Amino acid sequence: MVINGQVTADYSRYDIVSTFPNFMSVNNLQVIRMPTTDLEYIPEEFCNMKCLKELSLFGDGIRQSGLTFLPEKFANLKSLQVLNLEQNQFKNFPLQICELINLEKLYLNACGLTVVPQRIINLVHLSDIDLSSNDLSLNGLPNEFFQLPKLKQLYLNDCQLKTLPSDIGHLRTLEGLQLNDNFLKTFPDELYSLRHLKKISAKNNCLICLSSRIIELQSLEKLLLMENNITVLPAEIAKLPNLQFVNVFDNKLTRLPESLTDLGPTTRIVVRGNNHLQMP
């Protein structure tokens, strides 16, 4: 079928695909979406599909099943721009992915990964990457990861992180940062140098404070810090010109800075769940 002008094979509504379909007979196939729950491997000949731009081969997140490796020739899929391999069982990061130099969006959440390879730096066009629900707590993110020149959206939810590398400050193009369900106590100072950052989500961490340097995040629109241990907010938050929404539900706030009364009518702040909070 043709969807949005692209020749597409969409099996995403199927619960089980037990044998890999023969896609080679479909001319100019550009998009493939299908579950991998009962698939053991990708056939080598599949890697000759020169027109493929989007490939989604996803597990179900329930059974310990799905792909455990990629064929060596997977690196031949040079036209790929979007690759979704979430909830498979790779354990090790498939190095073939690092040869897909036109890749723009990469989804590898819940794949059993512990380390991202240095060769990730090859993906110079990458704008979105989701590594959520992988245990990256032991130096899982190399310095090269933070040198990706076009990265805009970074998802590191549930990665067992206790600290965020200071190299985060090198991701100058970053617009969205998701850090939910980790063990972070603070943000590194370098994070506040990300002048294009529009959204920070760090729900259910161990955060105790925010730096006054938050004033440097002049593009920030949404700040989501629910279920942390924050006791006070910096007054500088009220000076962020593009701020639209702040959620600090269920923290340990005892007071709010008086400057928050100066927030404009287009800015909403949620403070419910702070049982000892005294309003200014």
CATH of the domain at 238: 3.80.10.10
Residues 70 and 100 grouped into a single domain: yes
Residues 3 and 138 grouped into a single domain: yes
Q: Which domain holds residue 269?
A: 172-279
The verdict on residue 200 lying in a domain is yes
Instruction: Decide which of 111, 135, 160 is a domain's last residue.
Output: 160
The verdict on residue 66 lying in a domain is yes
Tokens of 25: 């007979």
Q: Position 41: which residue type?
A: Y
- Which pLDDT value is given to residue 36? 85
Residues 8 and 75 grouped into a single domain: yes
Domain total for the chain?
A: 2
Residues 43 and 180 grouped into a single domain: no
Which value, to the nearest 10 degrees, does the dihedral of the CA atoms of residues 106, 110, 115, 116 take?
Answer: 0
Instruction: Give pairs for 2-8: CB < 8 Å, separation 24+.
Output: 3/31, 6/30, 6/31, 6/53, 6/54, 7/31, 7/51, 8/32, 8/33
DSSP, res 193:
G
Residues 82 and 128 grouped into a single domain: yes
Alpha-carbon distance of 191 to 166, in angstroms, equals 7
The pTM score is 0.94
Which position has the token pair 């079928």? 1
pLDDT tens sequence across 225-264: 999 999 999 999 999 999 999 999 999 999 999 888 777 7
Query: Mean pLDDT, to the nearest integer, of 187-193?
Result: 98
| Counts for the chain of helices (H) and strands (E), in that order | 0, 13
Residues 97 and 195 grouped into a single domain: no
| H helices present in 55-175, as ranges | none
Instruction: Decide which of 117, 135, 160 is a domain's last residue.
Output: 160
As a whole number, the mean pLDDT across the chain is 92
The verdict on residue 149 lying in a domain is yes
pLDDT tens sequence across 127-172: 999 999 999 999 999 999 999 999 999 999 999 999 999 999 999 9
Alpha-carbon distance of 55 to 70, in angstroms, equals 13
Give the rounded distance of the alpha carbon of 258 from its chain centre.
34
Residues 117 and 221 grouped into a single domain: no
Residues 130 and 265 grouped into a single domain: no
Q: How many CA atoms lie within 13 A of 174 on its CB side?
A: 25
Burial class, 206, CB count within 10 angstroms (exposed 0-12 / middle 13-18 / buried 19+): middle
The verdict on residue 93 lying in a domain is yes
The contacts of residue 4 (CB under 8 Å, 6+ apart) are: none
pLDDT band at 61 (very low <50, low <70, confident <90, very high): low
Backbone angles phi, psi at 237, to 5 degrees: -55, -40
Instruction: Decide which of 160, 192, 210 is a domain's last residue.
Output: 160
Alpha-carbon distance of 234 to 238, in angstroms, equals 9
Residues 128 and 20 grouped into a single domain: yes
The verdict on residue 74 lying in a domain is yes
